[in-house]
A and B are shown apart, each in its own frame.
Chain A
Amino acid sequence: MRDVAIIGKGVTKFGELWDKSFRQLITETGAKAILEAGVSGTEIDALYIGSMGSGRFIGQEHIGALVADCSGFSHLHIPSTRVESACASGGLAVRQGYFSVASGINDIVVVGGIEKMTDVVGTEATSTLATVADQEWEAFFGATFPGLYAMIATKHMKDYGTTREQLAQVAVKNHANGALNPNAQFKREISLDAVINAPPVAYPLGMLDCSPVSDGAATVILCAAEKAKKYVDNPVKIIASGQASDTLALHGRREICTFDSTVYAAKMAYKQANLKPKDIDVAEVHDCFTIAEILAIEDLGFVKKGEGGKAIENKITTLDGEIPVNTSGGLKAKGHPIGATGVAQIAEIVAQIQGKADKRQIKNAKIGLTHNIGGTGASCVVHILEAM
């Protein structure tokens, strides 16, 4: 197994991009990443694409072939693979690309993530998003995707005393960060009151506790670390990759308020990197809902179980906190085009480590972590990145 580095990245604006089609989005980020990496098309060995729901969102499957085609690689006949793991599709695509380079099979691969969610009406988008839950035993009976996370919030509030204000604070922080991110879907700050008084979606969560429906794409270029400096001066190494699964339905879990998939994926990654949670300088975690970020910082080991709410309240995870979380604005403010998210998280951490995060830059970002969740925690992918 050899080391793998990231030599290029590209992220589109996230949002309701009426003018951009699925095909346009993926080529836009692909081009950005390739230009940054300075690789030539003929040097690319394979494509990995994370995309969750293209079949329902745009009525199109066979995404691997489609992306290779749009990217202009069809005449080179390079292998192209679509990866799906609900909202962790992007992170899992990165992991697949990582394996193929680490194993020596490929030298340079392009990993993209994309979702085009606004070509269908809102209710169709939410019901497609809900297919990440258990269709037969959760969704069928009336559980919505926010409803499932809301149930986690209810229990977390009962078991650990987490407050409505602490949940809301996650959204406030992420919007403050998003306001500094030129690609974010929402570039405005919001107040605690606004979050608490927003229209209810599923008690105790309201509209501003939930990440939006978004279009967007992100791409990273992976390269064998031993060859990376041939292309760029500041490659960033993937020093660990972890993945885990759990029961599809939330009700099947060992513990409602802990995502064992996060715990195990993180354990795998920390072990590979020989690091502990306190060694992480910055993290992009999966805040599809405010409660999800609270769970994430607990399950990744940044704080003890049950203390996620207090941590947010004590501003431990702000840009100048002990462990800045979601400097990009997170899924909440940056946007959540499902398949793109996992790859965009990698791009943000790479930017932080390279010192290229502009107004969102944190000091001394040497080691960063990405955390990408599928559904209500049925799958999880964690990566740890370090400056080379």
Chain B
Amino acid sequence: MENRAVPRFWREIPQRYSIIGNQCGACKKFYFPPRESCPYCRRKSIDKMETKKLKGKGKVVTYSIVHDAPDQFEGQAPYPIAIIELDEGPHLTAQIVDCNVDDIKIGMKVESTFRKIQEDGYMGAIYYGYKFKPVG
């Protein structure tokens, strides 16, 4: 029976549920997940990072189909995993759903959807978050 630290994943609920990142007040670059400061503006950005909810729209940069999955994802395999570039700039890694694996293309437009990501076994907490589906 796993008993992973619930606080660790609770802290990231705004990010996983609503793709909330931040924006550097100095150079206006967007970050996801949010950063304490902008790596490029460094001290100029301290206390200037603004929380921002990202739209959850983007395109596929690259992808793979995972066949050999860890326990938490076993029933779902094979499933597509992709690096997605959000419209605002940041990249993230997420599963692609509602799509035939043969139809996934680099450059494909996608939007976020709210799904169950994994759970801590039958007795543990359920973790929800983003997956992406093709637009239209």
Question: Which residues on A are within 8 Å of B, measured CB to CB?
Answer: 123, 126-127, 130, 134, 136-144, 146-148, 150-155, 158, 199-205, 249-252, 256
Whether A200 contacts B78 in the complex (CB less than 8 A), given A142-B69, A147-B66, A150-B64, comes out as: yes
How far in angstroms is the closest Cβ of chain A from B39? 10
Query: At the interface, yes or no: B18 with Cβ under 8 Å from chain A?
Result: no
Whether A123 contacts B70 in the complex (CB less than 8 A), given A137-B33, A141-B81, comes out as: yes
Whether A141 contacts B62 in the complex (CB less than 8 A), given A201-B68, A202-B68, comes out as: no
- Smallest CB gap from B62: residue in A: A155
Establish whether residues B64 and A147, one from each chain, have CB atoms under 8 Å apart when the complex forms: yes
Question: Which residues on B are within 8 Å of A, measured CB to CB?
Answer: 8-9, 12, 33, 61-71, 73, 76, 78-79, 81-84, 91-95, 101, 106, 117-118, 127, 129-131
27 A-B residue pairs with CB within 8 Å: A126-B70, A130-B70, A137-B93, A138-B93, A140-B118, A140-B127, A141-B81, A141-B129, A143-B93, A144-B66, A144-B68, A144-B70, A144-B81, A146-B66, A147-B64, A147-B66, A151-B63, A154-B63, A154-B64, A155-B62, A158-B106, A202-B64, A203-B64, A203-B78, A251-B91, A251-B92, A256-B61
How far in angstroms is the closest Cβ of chain A from B36? 15
Establish whether residues A155 and B68, one from each chain, have CB atoms under 8 Å apart when the complex forms: no
Establish whether residues B63 and A251, one from each chain, have CB atoms under 8 Å apart when the complex forms: no
Q: Which residues in A have their C-beta under 8 angstroms from that of B76?
A: 142
How far in angstroms is the closest Cβ of chain B from A59? 16
Of the candidates A134, A140, A155, A201, the one whose C-beta lies within 8 Å of that of B117 is: A140
- Smallest CB gap from B95: residue in A: A142
Establish whether residues A202 and B129, one from each chain, have CB atoms under 8 Å apart when the complex forms: no
Establish whether residues B92 and A147, one from each chain, have CB atoms under 8 Å apart when the complex forms: no
Instruction: For the complex, give the distance between the alpha carbons of A127 and B12 in Å.
Output: 21
Q: Which residues in B have their C-beta under 8 angstroms from that of A137?
A: 33, 92-93
Establish whether residues B64 and A127, one from each chain, have CB atoms under 8 Å apart when the complex forms: no
Q: Which residues in B have their C-beta under 8 angstroms from that of A127?
A: 70-71
Q: Which residues in A have their C-beta under 8 angstroms from that of B33?
A: 136-137
Establish whether residues A155 and B61, one from each chain, have CB atoms under 8 Å apart when the complex forms: yes
Establish whether residues B70 and A249, one from each chain, have CB atoms under 8 Å apart when the complex forms: no
Q: Which of B63, B67, B101, B127: most chain A Cβ within 10 A?
A: B67
Instruction: For the complex, give the distance between the alpha carbons of A210 and B73 in Å.
Output: 20
- Smallest CB gap from A250: residue in B: B83
Whether A152 contacts B94 in the complex (CB less than 8 A), given A142-B81, A147-B81, comes out as: no
Establish whether residues A201 and B106, one from each chain, have CB atoms under 8 Å apart when the complex forms: no
Q: Which residues in B have their C-beta under 8 angstroms from that of A256?
A: 61-62, 83
Q: Which residues in A have their C-beta under 8 angstroms from that of B81?
A: 141-144, 147, 151, 202
Establish whether residues B118 and A202, one from each chain, have CB atoms under 8 Å apart when the complex forms: no
Q: Which residues in A have their C-beta under 8 angstroms from that of B101?
A: 203
Instruction: For the complex, give the distance between the alpha carbons of A250 and B84 in Å.
Output: 11
Q: Which residues in A have their C-beta under 8 angstroms from that of B71?
A: 123, 127
Q: Which residues in A have their C-beta under 8 angstroms from that of B66?
A: 142-144, 146-147, 150, 202
Instruction: For the complex, give the distance between the alpha carbons of A153 and B101 in Å.
Output: 16
Of the candidates A155, A158, A251, the one whose C-beta lies within 8 Å of that of B93 is: A251
A sample of 11 more A-B contacts (CB under 8 A), given A144-B69, A202-B67, A251-B83, is A136-B33, A137-B93, A150-B66, A151-B62, A151-B64, A151-B83, A200-B65, A249-B93, A250-B83, A256-B62, A256-B83
How far in angstroms is the closest Cβ of chain B from A122? 10
Instruction: Report the 9 A-B pairs with minimum CB-CB distance, sorted nearest first.
Output: A150-B64, A203-B65, A251-B91, A155-B62, A200-B67, A251-B83, A151-B62, A201-B68, A147-B66
Instruction: For the complex, give the distance between the alpha carbons of A151 and B81 in Å.
Output: 8
Q: Which of B78, B81, B91, B93: most chain A Cβ within 10 A?
A: B93
Q: Which residues in A have their C-beta under 8 angstroms from that of B129?
A: 140-141
How far in angstroms is the closest Cβ of chain A from B127? 8
How far in angstroms is the closest Cβ of chain A from B7? 13
How far in angstroms is the closest Cβ of chain A from B13? 12
Q: Which of A123, A130, A158, A202: most chain B Cβ within 10 A?
A: A202
- Smallest CB gap from A249: residue in B: B93
Instruction: For the complex, give the distance between the alpha carbons of A146 and B83 in Å.
Output: 14
- Smallest CB gap from B79: residue in A: A142
Q: Which residues in A have their C-beta under 8 angstroms from that of B64?
A: 147-148, 150-151, 153-154, 202-205
Establish whether residues B93 and A154, one from each chain, have CB atoms under 8 Å apart when the complex forms: no
Instruction: For the complex, give the distance between the alpha carbons of A65 and B12 in Å.
Output: 37
